[in-house]
Amino acid sequence: MKLFLDTANVTEIREAAALGVISGVTTNPTLIAKEGRDFKETILEITKIVDGPISAEVVSLDAQGMIKEAIEIASWHPNIVIKIPMIWEGLKAVKELSNKGIKTNVTLVFSPSQALLAAQAGATYVSPFIGRFTDISQDGIALISDIVDIFTLHDIKTKIIAASIRTPMDVVNAAKAGADIATVPYKVLEQMVKHPMTDIGVQRFLEDWKKVPKK
């Protein structure tokens, strides 16, 4: 399973990219707004840091508006993937964009039937949201698992991005369920690196090293 970073913060993206573990980036209007910067400028800076799929979301609610925005955004850089909300008009937009060879990431997916529709419309990626589903007492990992089963059974090529990740265990469980990608917030990436036994081990090695006779 690959890892994408779920942020529009270029400092975080630069730091995570230096680890060599990130193959793409996902953003959304909330993450863009949080940075207080111009949308295009931010996305273009991200494309310079990570050489992989960069998701940028449209905000229109009608298919024609989404397609117009998508064509403009996709023209900024070849790695850009257009994020489209999983609504009726969104499916129409995905179909048109897919015909034009523009890659799409259907977002706000909360059911296997939505994922199936997005895939049939031609989505490159679907993003089922684990955390927001778990927030309402639903099983986010079972959602990923069901979509994986359906896509595998029917040889559907659309890639599954486990989104709305809140903890390192969400990442592990998404990997076990068979997601193609997990898009993780920077904080979760930091938590994934840390283990108290590793810190204790490093400390003990350093202390023992002091006891080695030096010539």
Residues of this chain that interact with ligand E4P (CB under 6 A) are 6, 26, 28, 107, 127, 129, 131-132, 163-164, 183
CB of 91 to ligand E4P, least distance (A): 18
* Closer by beta carbon to ligand E4P, 6 or else 96: 6
Buried/exposed 114-149: b ≥16 CB within 10 Å, e otherwise: bbbbbbebbbbbbbbbbeebbeeeeebbebbbbbbe
Residue among 36 and 213 whose Cβ is closer to ligand E4P: 36
Shortest Å distance, C-beta 97 to ligand E4P: 17
Considering 48, 68, 83, 194, which one is annotated as catalytic? Answer: 83
Is residue 83 among the annotated active site residues?
yes
In the bound state with ligand E4P, the residue whose beta carbon lies nearer, of 33 and 202, is: 33
Contact 30, 66 (CB under 8 A): no
Angle subtended by helix axes 186-193 and 168-177, to nearest 10:
90
Question: Cβ 10 to ligand E4P, closest distance in Å?
Answer: 16
Which active-site residues does the annotation give? 83
